Amino acid sequence: MARRKIVRIDEEKCNGCGLCIPNCAEGALQIVDGKAKLLSERFCDGLGACLGHCPQDAITIIEREAEDFDEEAVETHLHKKESEPKPQPAPLFTGCPSSRPLHFNVPKATGERASTPSISMLSQWPVQLKLVPVNAPYFQDADLLVIADCVPFAYANLHQDFLKGKAVVMGCPKLDDIRYYKEKLTEIFKTNSIKSITVAYMEVPCCFGLVRVTEEAIRGSGKDFPLRKVKIGIRGEIKPEEEAEVPRHLRPSASHL
């Protein structure tokens, strides 16, 4: 083995967000037990295309003894990955009541009830990105909320402030397959007449993967959608730097500035 440049992953810094995975053209990286791993020295060309996509600075380029980069092995590896069966969108009804898509009317609140957060604004089922059918009727001509699954627990008035009047898909970019998210969202965007997209995500670094994968899916769809990004703090507050993305009634007035 000769000395050459190769990536090194600091497992202490790596939070398993997976943002590096789709940015390695050779498919050399994979999330294993919640950490990014180099599958094989032969797959890494040492150029470091993945470096700029790690929010934790966990990836560096070092020089050490390593197997030579093998372009043929990479092509075989990528071909094998392409030939592996990909997760398929759920049909409109799979036979399981929990994944059957439902679309129901939200009661219109009046008077005091209009400001009551306890009124559910959910108008569809299911909500998990893994379960929603790509061609579900509630996506047509919809304003879509793409939401990290921790947000509803952190942000108390989510239904009134963000969910009202929107279709929704939910997922976790840290625990789930982010490549699948990109493919699924791309197909949803291609298949349906989406009017706008709002991404609500937590302030923790791994959660930004949901924003990144949504942006990549928009580009992959070949369409152009109005995109709003709302960052939620772990104490439930909307982060100040995202004020431009906050619903108008929640923005501070000039008198408070």
- Asked if 210 and 163 sit in the same domain, the reply is yes
Give the count of domains, the chain: 2
Is 92 contained in some domain?
Answer: no
Instruction: Tell me, yes or no, whether 47 and 121 share the same domain.
Output: no
pLDDT at 250: 42
Q: Are 45 and 72 within one domain?
A: yes
* CA quadruple 250, 251, 255, 257: dihedral, nearest 10: 130
The model's confidence at residue 231, banded by pLDDT at 50, 70 and 90, is very high
Q: Is the per-residue pLDDT at 11 higher than 60? A: yes
Strand segments (E) across the chain:
2-9, 29-32, 35-38, 59-66, 102-103, 124-125, 143-148, 167-171, 196-202, 227-232
C-alpha angle 132/89/187, rounded to 5°? 90
List the CATH number of the domain containing 6.
Answer: 3.30.70.20
What pTM was estimated for this model as a whole? 0.57
One domain for residues 126 and 177: yes
**Predicted confidence (pLDDT) per residue in 213-225, tens digit:** 999 999 999 999 9
Q: Which residues pair with 62 in a beta bridge?
A: 6
Q: Which domain holds residue 159?
A: 97-256
Written as one string, the DSSP assignment of 31-42 is EETTEEEES-GG
**Closest-CA residue to 36 (of 55, 21, 24, 51):** 21
Measured between alpha carbons, how far is 49 from 242 in angstroms, rounded to an integer? 29
